[in-house]
Amino acid sequence: MYLSNTKTIVFISGAFVSHFYWEEWITFFENKGYKVVAPPWLHKNDSAENLRKQNPCVKIGSISLFDLLCYYTEIIEKLPEKPILVGHSYGGLLVQLLVQKNLAEAGICINSFPPKGFTSLKISFYKIILGFSCDIFSSKKTFILSFENWKNIFFNIASIEEQKAEYDKFIIPESKKALWNLFSKNAKINFRKKHVPLFFISCSEDQIISPKLVHWNFRKHRNLHSITCYKDFKNKNHFVILHPEWQEVAESVTRWIEKVT
């Protein structure tokens, strides 16, 4: 028992998608008695359709990892209490970095992008990220994830109808700079530092963040002074937030929060 009474949750979105993909999770946790905040990324407070129409967008193209950290820090510091942070994908890395800044009571990292630091487990991840952001024939500072990459890498093990529907509903332009910053000093974690409880979640069918990579991230955070947990979910993909059985993951998160707070 970590002895915290916080009932505020901040959901932090991943790259490539609209923050509206948290809608069912917001309702789920509000029904559990939590106050929930799910802010859009900086410069992305609009519908997916409108954001795609604006592409290429100079403001979105300017987004950096540092900007996102400052942005979420400001949001968190305005809350009446330190929140529980729940981040998915790129948002999972942001959770780790915000926890490092002592801005949370606990953190949940779902299929999290890894922090800076070499391991052979990252090679395939970096190849995918560089493939997205290194189009040498384009001067655009933003890009939109292709449907082929969406259905094969991010939202695999779903029907083509589900893949198309979710793609149209949630995919938005992304900043190449924000992806390049995954290699920067701003993505570095001090793993020796004591931290609040952290829960790392992986999914067996994730084609961009393998369970082995999530487990590596989990092990790096483990120390004698901190609670660090890990769970792998079978037959689920990277965008488990939208998976038909997403409630299984949400229930696991709820039980973990109840145990450590």
Domains defined for the chain, CATH in brackets: 8-260 (3.40.50.1820)
**Cα–Cα distances in Å, from 225 out to 18, 191, 221?**
36, 12, 10
Report pLDDT for 150: 97
Report pLDDT for 172: 98
End-to-end CA distance of the chain: 6
pLDDT band (50, 70, 90) for residue 140: confident
In the chain, alpha helices (H):
23-31, 48-53, 58-61, 65-77, 90-100, 123-133, 147-149, 160-170, 176-180, 211-221, 246-260
- Percent of the chain at pLDDT exceeding 70: 96
What does the pLDDT look like over 29-57, one tens digit per residue?
999 999 999 999 999 999 999 999 999 99
pTM, 2 dp: 0.96
In 172-245, alpha helices (H):
176-180, 211-221
pLDDT band (50, 70, 90) for residue 23: very high
Question: CA 69, CA 64: separation in Å to the nearest integer?
Answer: 9
Report pLDDT for 1: 46
- Phi, psi at 229, each rounded to 5°: -125, 160
pLDDT band (50, 70, 90) for residue 3: low
Report pLDDT for 234: 98
Which of 65, 69, 183 shows the shortest CA–CA distance to 134?
183
What does the pLDDT look like over 165-222, one tens digit per residue?
999 999 999 999 999 999 999 999 999 999 999 999 999 999 999 999 999 999 999 9
